[in-house]
Amino acid sequence: MPFTVGVYFENSAADRQSFKQSTCLSWLGSCFEEMAAGFEHLNIIEIPDSGDCRILSTEKERTELQRVCGLDLDPENEYMRFIKYRNKGICWDPKSGIREDHIDRMNAHFRLYKDVPATDTYVVFDWDRTLTKIEGFTPTSELAMWRGFVMQIDDEYLTKFREDTLLVLFGGPERLRFIRGVIASLVDQRRTLFIVTRNPHCGGDAFRALVQRLHPSFHIVCARRDSKKETLEAAPFFARGHNGHAKMAGGGRNPATRHTKYKKRGLGHNRTRVARKKQRKMARGRRAMPTSPIGS
């Protein structure tokens, strides 16, 4: 059975708008907006942001970020040390991120549909500056270059590194506990959770491991060229509803993390089509070529 009632948290105006459609009535001479077909009972909750987020690139600015996030008591935060080693800036937006009043609006929406089974409901989260308060993150691709010479990068260290990464991305331990509490409550209610994001690292092992550390119950859907509405509609588990069997963050790669532009037909089909077109072109060339007399 497909999902019927949902809530969508998003800071991007363009992505919020993609779930709406304009309907014009010629006899009235006016147009109005309504939710797109299939999303009539989706409540879109706008998450504020500051537009262009502030880039913290100096050591002084990064130290101030640690203080604001309540991380100044932990100078050994491995993610901040990694950022310092990489000499990377952090796109910090103090105005962004889900707050308690946003969760109150979500709960009020679900109360309107209290007769709908929780298994038929879903919650969609954007990642950057919606769940988190930072745009993007630095993955662990160069972690071995930094720590590999002085210590072994084992599972225990990776667990600490991912937890320290979440502490920074989510704005400190207090807010991270708040978000985890919200997620745990939704899982207890048996609602289905999605992360739909344009983060360039979505689909990679580092991103999936980070989401799993946050909570293993998320279905990760990576948006690329298509709108987030089209991307979500194409995600196999969303299309099938709660009877589907897509893998979650804690259970391997989600099939929906591929580029949805090629999902329906497959890259193999595209290559075959190009090869056949090339063969037809070559055949036409051979037919048009004049033949030489025998023995000339």
Task: Render pLDDT for 180-210 as a digit per residue (tens, 0 to 9).
Answer: 999 999 999 999 999 999 999 998 898 999 9
Classify residue 126: in a domain, yes or no: yes
Backbone angles phi, psi at 220, to 5 degrees: -95, 125
Classify residue 200: in a domain, yes or no: yes
Classify residue 111: in a domain, yes or no: yes
Is 188 within 8 Å of 222 (Cβ atoms)? no
How would you class 27 by CB atoms within 10 Å of its CB: exposed for 0-12, middle for 13-18, buried for 19 or more? exposed
pLDDT at position 81 is: 82
In Å, the largest CA–CA distance within the chain is 92
Classify residue 146: in a domain, yes or no: no
Residue 197: CB atoms within 10 Å: 24
pLDDT at position 100 is: 97
Classify residue 65: in a domain, yes or no: no
Task: Quote the CA–CA distance of 84 and 75 in Å, as a whole number.
Answer: 12
Per-residue pLDDT at 133 exceeds 80: yes
Per-residue pLDDT at 289 exceeds 50: no
Classify residue 145: in a domain, yes or no: no
pLDDT at position 152 is: 67
Task: Quote the CA–CA distance of 108 and 147 in Å, as a whole number.
Answer: 47
Lowest average pLDDT, out of 69-78, 105-114, 142-151, 156-165, goes to 142-151
pLDDT at position 235 is: 85
Q: Looking at the 3D structure of the chain, how many domains does it have? A: 1
Lowest average pLDDT, out of 142-146, 147-151, 219-223, goes to 147-151
Task: Quote the CA–CA distance of 104 and 216 in Å, as a whole number.
Answer: 24
Classify residue 67: in a domain, yes or no: no
What is the mean pLDDT of the segment spanning 105-109? 97
Domain hosting residue 236, numbered range: 5-53+93-133+170-287
Task: Quote the CA–CA distance of 295 and 8 in Å, as a whole number.
Answer: 77
Classify residue 60: in a domain, yes or no: no
